[in-house]
Structure 1
């Protein structure tokens, strides 16, 4: 697989080194592989070089990474021949006050499934730095030259997607993308292990590509009167945001990383992804002298099928934080498989925790607390819910799509139980959280064959007689949703009499 990645031009992707280094090359401390550490390192470069332009810095980082493949040079030029970037690269490599940017490190997946060249972001997702920085460089170049953006889609996503689609033509389209993985620690991340054998378009590469397209487009669209910020400031605004109490993403008007799927779609879908991927592949083959590959009659079919899978997985469906990422304990016993598709989705609020969670650390803490309560106090095998929605912009995996939950007594085998963290007796959840559940998650379930197309929403209180869940305010809202159905009084009485697990 690694040989294929090199052949396809995906080598030389930039990553942070694993250690601090002195000018003599001796390690002076451990470098955590998270976005905050990367931003801190960038900030130190900027502080050591007053007046440094963001474009010069990203070009220097590209030189340091050795990421000058033919496609990148075609759009951006050779980084070591662009002004003073070579001088700055020398300063980066010799500095002692910030993390060393390793020139020889590439984006690779080791034989034992570790993905390198990636960092953990504050929102709990994982991003490859190479496509992120390339997108930013495209945007900065367009801004500084007062010219249209050229190469944004090819360098951030089209190359990665197209090559992955073609390299796995014999596999189902859904298997030509991903996977995600988990860190050894979200507090001190050092090792990222993938969930299964990788494609050429892992989740982190796609996340980095979406982020690069968003930030690059944002920078390129700055008006003439708007000053370019330092690279570290741009990254902080996108990754190190603070969500307003009680509003979550509803109260944020500028782009932040939890919105990467919606925003990248609004930017890239109008560009005709199919045309972009095909043209990018043809350009790669021309630059590499392998134009004979374009004669393969399966190219168009592979790209079309692959893009359909990409749109479904990364644009239609919401991002779901996997169990291992929020720190789930193992299931006590043996999970019971569900018989899909299901016909119902039962809506809950957690009541306790009573406050909306606004960050990955807080939502993860809430998930662990609920699982601990369900396993230890109630004696259940696992957290009861199928999925839980935070106010940080993410859905959290509970028992998931395929395993029987314990959320709606007498009905667990008939539907999924989805809860929003918080007490919604007198107030509504943030609009974005409700939309994640109502539109994104359920459409993902229907399109993926997990819910029937004519599924039914029910509030938890409709099915059992001892609860006001999902809270009066939230339930009143739910009754206005498409697919919600009342239960007639006689049937409701019979249903509530089935209070047997």
Structure 2
């Protein structure tokens, strides 16, 4: 997940946590050696391969190399067969997964089955990989959407695309929700970002996880894209690499192409209308029931399902089509809060805009933005003696917003006003230049709308620059001139 993103090179072992005197006695050395990852394709322990998207793309290329000249549909069917994605609904739209090509080696088959087969066991989610942009993606809906797109016979009409990617999961999840159900779209944390193996959900029991939604959204976006293309991509691995592994230049997201995973939310929002997704979810649940041999749904039961899906769709739209991607604390490596957080009294009336000044340069990758977040937290906790990083949220130039103290904890960002509003900072010094247009869009149009829609910020909130209430140059001369043109900008002052 660095500058060599998705290059097809063997994974390097992680460094040992401490310098070790060698030679060590064998009983002490063996447990440490077992912690080191083996290169992909090892025949000794095939299940140890990493669960980054780069690892999966390497496997896809190995599958392609094993049968030169294979078209993406043939590769997708082979992946589907190895993963066991052949239930009645899948076969209805995609047919069987039989192939005349040679069978995959056992280590490749084992890896694919582990990486693609989705299930949630208590708080642990499997069938999920970590992408370079910091999001976690369920592979099954992604691959099914791609196969539907490649099989489409007319532009933009991929048969089964919505049913195979999101509609089935939405129908099942929203149809059985109750007032006591955990939040929809639970995100999670990996045990390691360098060598991810275990993904733990933040809210166990969530009826539909964020990784499932991300995989479904990517399946829709990519499936629709290939269905429109007159000339289909020759290699599935190349398609995945272009989508997930695009490296940003100095312009950040402003100069990035349209079809990359960092833009999944805006692309999905432009392709899918919520009423259509609601109808597809209900119809797919009916179809799934019929294919399982159960009796047809009664009229009353269908009305109840439709009402439940419509209601749940509001939460889905808010979380995944209105809110920006927010990287949780565990993903950027936050230290624990020191002491006991003070809860905010919501909704708040103010949004305070900051810049970091130091770090002075915008961050363009998850790794650099995360390092900047850790640096700021160390400065705030160790040098200033605060309980935590002061900001509520921080915007990077990599396409992400980073969670600081978040929606519910009072921050330490705007002296005398911390209980009155959220403090949102932009990584970089903006005395003489502006943040990227995309970073400003994430905060001005998405994060603020997300806060209002979630009942965390008043609809008539006031937006202010840090300098308006504290003697400081923050958020920089150039940036302060810019935010004066934003909606909700005002001069109203209220002290705690």
Of 335, 343, 347, which residue of structure 2 is paired with 1:337?
343
Matched residue of 1:343: which SS? strand
Q: Given the two structures, how large is their TM-score scaled by the length of structure 2?
A: 0.87
Q: What are the residue-to-residue correspondences of 1:202-221 with 2, within 5 Å?
A: 202-221=209-228
- Matches of 2:156 and 2:441 in 1, distance apart? 37
Matched residue of 1:244: which SS? coil
Q: How far apart are 1:171 and its partner, in Å?
A: 4.0
Deviations 1:322-351 (A, max 9, x none): 101110000111111111111000000111
Q: What are the residue-to-residue correspondences of 1:4-403 with 2, within 5 Å?
A: 26-27=44-45, 30-80=48-98, 83-84=99-100, 87-88=101-102, 90=103, 92-94=104-106, 100-102=111-113, 106-111=117-122, 113-142=123-152, 148-171=157-180, 175=182, 177-223=184-230, 226-245=231-250, 247-269=251-273, 272-295=276-299, 296=301, 297-403=303-409
Q: Given the two structures, how large is their TM-score scaled by the length of structure 1?
A: 0.87
What residue in structure 2 maps to residue 12 of structure 1?
A: none
CA pair 107-19 structure 1, distance change in 2 beyond 3 A: farther
Q: How far apart are 1:147 and its partner, in Å?
A: 8.3
Matched residue of 1:345: which SS? strand
Decide whether the 8 Å contact of 2:155 with 2:228 is kept in 1. Answer: no
Decide whether the 8 Å contact of 2:116 with 2:140 is kept in 1. Answer: no
- Matches of 2:106 and 2:191 in 1, distance apart? 30
Decide whether the 8 Å contact of 1:346 with 1:417 is kept in 2. Answer: yes
Gap runs ≥5 in structure 2? 1-36
Deviations 1:47-95 (A, max 9, x none): 2322111110001110111111111111111112xx53xx34x1x2347
Decide whether the 8 Å contact of 1:127 with 1:208 is kept in 2. Answer: yes
What residue in structure 2 maps to residue 481 of structure 1?
A: 486
Decide whether the 8 Å contact of 2:141 with 2:164 is kept in 1. Answer: yes
Decide whether the 8 Å contact of 1:21 with 1:99 is kept in 2. Answer: no
CA pair 348-142 structure 1, distance change in 2 beyond 3 A: same
- Matches of 1:79 and 1:168 in 2, distance apart? 33
What residue in structure 2 maps to residue 4 of structure 1?
A: none
Decide whether the 8 Å contact of 1:342 with 1:414 is kept in 2. Answer: yes
Q: How far apart are 1:199 and its partner, in Å?
A: 3.0
- Matches of 1:29 and 1:183 in 2, distance apart? 17
- Matches of 2:195 and 2:275 in 1, distance apart? 39
Gap runs ≥5 in structure 1? 1-17
Decide whether the 8 Å contact of 2:411 with 2:422 is kept in 1. Answer: yes
- Matches of 1:99 and 1:36 in 2, distance apart? 17
- Matches of 2:156 and 2:244 in 1, distance apart? 27
Deviations 1:296-346 (A, max 9, x none): 142111011011111011111111111011100001111111111110000
CA pair 21-230 structure 1, distance change in 2 beyond 3 A: closer
- Matches of 1:328 and 1:36 in 2, distance apart? 25
Q: How far apart are 1:425 and its partner, in Å?
A: 0.8
Q: Aligned Cα RMSD in Å?
A: 2.3
Q: How far apart are 1:291 and its partner, in Å?
A: 3.6
CA pair 413-195 structure 1, distance change in 2 beyond 3 A: same
- Matches of 1:176 and 1:327 in 2, distance apart? 23
Q: How far apart are 1:178 and its partner, in Å?
A: 2.2
What residue in structure 2 maps to residue 7 of structure 1?
A: none
Deviations 1:14-46 (A, max 9, x none): xxxx977979x6326831111010011111222
Matched residue of 1:159: which SS? helix
